[in-house]
Amino acid sequence: MTTDKCTNVTEKCADTKENCDNMVDISISKDVLVIGAGSFGLEAAGKIAAQGYSVSVIGVKTACARQSGCTSKMLETGKVNIMQDVAIDSLAGVTGDFRATLIKNAGNGAEYSEKVEKVFGAIVVAPQYSYSTLNKKYGLTLNDKVVSQSQFEAMIADPESQKKILNGVNGNGSTVAFLTGFAQEGDPTSTSRVLTSALAVQNMENCNAYIYAGNVKVGAKGLERLFTQGRHAGVVCFKPSQMPTIEQNLNDGVNTVKITIKDPVVRTDVELTPDYVVVEEAVVVGQQNLDIASTLRIDTDLYGFLPSNNVHRFPAKSNRDGIFVVNNSLDAANAALKLKELIGNGIKRVAANKAKVDEDRCVICLTCYRSCPHGAIFWQNGAAAISPAACQGCGICASECPMDAIQLGDFTDDSLRTSIKDAVVSAKDNQKDGQPLIVAFCCKNSALEACEAATKFGHEMPQGFRMVKVPCAGKVDVEFIMKAFVEGADGVMVAACHEGNCKAERGNIYAKWRVNEIQKRLEKMGLEKNRLIFTTIASNMAKEFAGKVNAFAAAIK
């Protein structure tokens, strides 16, 4: 009953397969830029270089990466050029042909700095985050007895300080308290560090470890076992519902901390005056990473961590094809895989029917450049141009362009107009008396799938319902919605991906915003605004989709 059957289309044609007319070959630079010389950056660099690509790494090596054994292991084989003190200044170009301006002696306050432009086929960002100690949130001042988790790890690694802990104040061991999960939610990595340190303390003669934890984050391999091991060794773990009461006394040469919690079972105060207090640390994004994200035009999550919180970016992807984000070892391997798929032997065969700009119409207003979520637009011959390697065919630019200068190869405005007309005609043929005629614009990534499944599984929907397939809800503009009404639809539905699940990041936001605008217009025209609705749905929710259509039909009957 749908106007467009498209369940079995493989979107992508592998190089070797036939039947892929309308393809173009694009040359892709085999040089790769890795931003971040931490261990994961170097691991990714090594894996990529091994594939025969030439890799430049910029950024400062971390402590671990400075150990040559460690670095050589990560770099494996191949050409890797590590450039310390080099940063990225700006980025132009598109996937396969990124033009990066690199700046030497960056940020050192050095008088001499040099800019060079280099071409890269792809970019890997391996963000280097730093730690900040959360002592202030506990009302604590750091000193030789109140230390950060990192400091404490250094202490137990150093024989001298270790001896001091072992001896304690009067030669009979120390009591160490760990504070974690009250100043921040924490994560398995921080928990792992606390548990490991606590167990090390407990294993020292006459020493005792106490952990004050919010939630113990054991959600990673081996941690529950480590936690149990610690408890069996004698580590005491308190989990009060609130941050413990902490009093630090630094008067008159005294240096003590008293930690008090209320025991929920015996309902009394439990006090501890430990010899050492170890305070949790937070991972900090840092301005540097925010700058990198904005230079590369890639989205971050709410906190500024790269990439954005969107399942379509998983793993190792960003909103821009050809820019990868590596946050761990799994990402490094995945980035190398995807990068090889992209670069191959330097020639990439891509579908030619993506978005195209009519140069004669373009007035260089920059709208498309700003609205393209995938950074696929660049400038050529005094007009906007779109890279078929980077374009994902969402159609947002086409809808936003004030000059109507952009057309999608596989979803031209004309073909959409025809689809709308066909949908209405076929709905009229099947419509039962008294039932409304409904046209739903369905995003091919979500609503279309849900709609087709609903049809296939026989979930009941009104006879007068038809859907029109769109590449992204962001392609649905005012004209198409009005066209559906003009053709005779009683109700129009724009069905997009849930917020935060849009492949084009903001296509659903554009659609929602446009629907709101048109609703206002309809009202001014004296029409019922509830004849037009915006809704979101996931591709796997067939029954829910049918429910939404039926509810809409009932509402406008």
| Residue ranges in contact with ligand SF4 by CB under 6 A | 219, 311, 354-355, 357, 362-368, 372, 374, 376-377, 384, 386, 391-397, 401, 403, 405-406, 498, 501, 538, 540
Question: What does the DSSP 8-state code read for residue 291?
Answer: H
Binding part of the chain for another protein, among 246-254, 286-294, 424-432, 533-541 by CB under 8 A, reads 533-541
Q: Any idea which residue has 């991906």 for tokens?
A: 497
Among another protein, ligand SF4, none, partner that 303 touches (CB below 5 to 8 angstroms by kind): another protein
The two structure tokens encoding residue 406:
């952009």
Neighbours of 352 (CB within 10 A): 14
Shortest spacing between CB 339 and another protein, in angstroms: 11
Among another protein, ligand SF4, none, partner that 267 touches (CB below 5 to 8 angstroms by kind): another protein
Binding part of the chain for another protein, among 103-111, 179-187, 382-390, 516-524 by CB under 8 A, reads 179-187
Q: Which of 88, 177, 226, 408 binds another protein (CB under 8 A)?
A: 226
User: Does residue number 228 form part of the binding site for another protein (CB under 8 A)?
Assistant: yes
User: Does residue number 264 form part of the binding site for another protein (CB under 8 A)?
Assistant: yes
Instruction: Looking at residues 481 to 500 of the shown chain, list those that interact with another protein (rule: CB under 8 A).
Output: 497-500
Cα 238 from chain centre: 35
> Rounded to the nearest 5°, which phi and psi values hold at 464?
-90, 25
Cβ atoms of 442 and 469 within 8 Å: the answer is: yes
Question: What does the DSSP 8-state code read for residue 73?
Answer: H
Instruction: Looking at residues 498 to 517 of the shown chain, list those that interact with another protein (rule: CB under 8 A).
Output: 498-501
Q: Which is nearer to another protein, 282 or 385 (CB)?
A: 282
Shortest spacing between CB 27 and ligand SF4, in angstroms: 19
Binding part of the chain for another protein, among 86-94, 307-315, 427-435, 481-489 by CB under 8 A, reads 307-315
Shortest spacing between CB 8 and another protein, in angstroms: 6
In whole angstroms, what is the distance from residue 317 CA to residue 332 CA? 11
The two structure tokens encoding residue 100:
């990066």
Q: Which is nearer to ligand SF4, 349 or 354 (CB)?
A: 354
In whole angstroms, what is the distance from residue 496 CA to residue 511 CA? 8
Secondary structure class of 469 (helix, strand, coil):
strand
Binding part of the chain for another protein, among 12-20, 23-31, 108-116, 515-523 by CB under 8 A, reads 12-20
Cβ atoms of 60 and 136 within 8 Å: the answer is: no
Q: Which is nearer to another protein, 138 or 480 (CB)?
A: 138
Q: Cα separations (Å) of 102 from 211, 218, 462, 513? A: 46, 41, 59, 39
Cβ atoms of 423 and 431 within 8 Å: the answer is: no
Instruction: Looking at residues 154 to 173 of the shown chain, list those that interact with another protein (rule: CB under 8 A).
Output: 154, 156-157
Cβ atoms of 317 and 324 within 8 Å: the answer is: yes
In whole angstroms, what is the distance from residue 393 CA to residue 52 CA? 31
Closest of 278, 277, 283 to residue 149, by C-alpha: 278
Q: What is the DSSP string of 470-523?
A: ES-GGG--HHHHHHHHHHT-SEEEEEEPPTT--TTSSHHHHHHHHHHHHHHHHH
Q: Which is nearer to another protein, 228 or 530 (CB)?
A: 228
Q: Any idea which residue has 């081996």 for tokens?
A: 222
The two structure tokens encoding residue 557:
């009957």
Among another protein, ligand SF4, none, partner that 411 touches (CB below 5 to 8 angstroms by kind): none
Neighbours of 82 (CB within 10 A): 19
User: Does residue number 115 form part of the binding site for another protein (CB under 8 A)?
Assistant: no
Secondary structure class of 193 (helix, strand, coil):
helix
Closest of 350, 301, 353 to residue 322, by C-alpha: 350
User: Does residue number 336 form part of the binding site for another protein (CB under 8 A)?
Assistant: yes
Shortest spacing between CB 505 and ligand SF4, in angstroms: 10
User: Does residue number 192 form part of the binding site for another protein (CB under 8 A)?
Assistant: yes
Shortest spacing between CB 331 and another protein, in angstroms: 7
User: Does residue number 316 form part of the binding site for another protein (CB under 8 A)?
Assistant: yes
Among another protein, ligand SF4, none, partner that 529 touches (CB below 5 to 8 angstroms by kind): none
User: Does residue number 38 form part of the binding site for another protein (CB under 8 A)?
Assistant: yes
The two structure tokens encoding residue 444:
């091919």
Count of residues near another protein by CB under 8 A: 106
Among ligand SF4, another protein, none, partner that 366 touches (CB below 5 to 8 angstroms by kind): ligand SF4
User: Does residue number 282 form part of the binding site for another protein (CB under 8 A)?
Assistant: no
Q: Which is nearer to another protein, 212 or 485 (CB)?
A: 212
Is 400 buried (19+), middle (13-18) or exposed (0-12) by CB count in 10 A?
middle
Among another protein, ligand SF4, none, partner that 336 touches (CB below 5 to 8 angstroms by kind): another protein
The two structure tokens encoding residue 186:
């924490």
User: Does residue number 242 form part of the binding site for another protein (CB under 8 A)?
Assistant: no
User: Does residue number 8 form part of the binding site for another protein (CB under 8 A)?
Assistant: yes
Q: Which is nearer to another protein, 422 or 544 (CB)?
A: 544
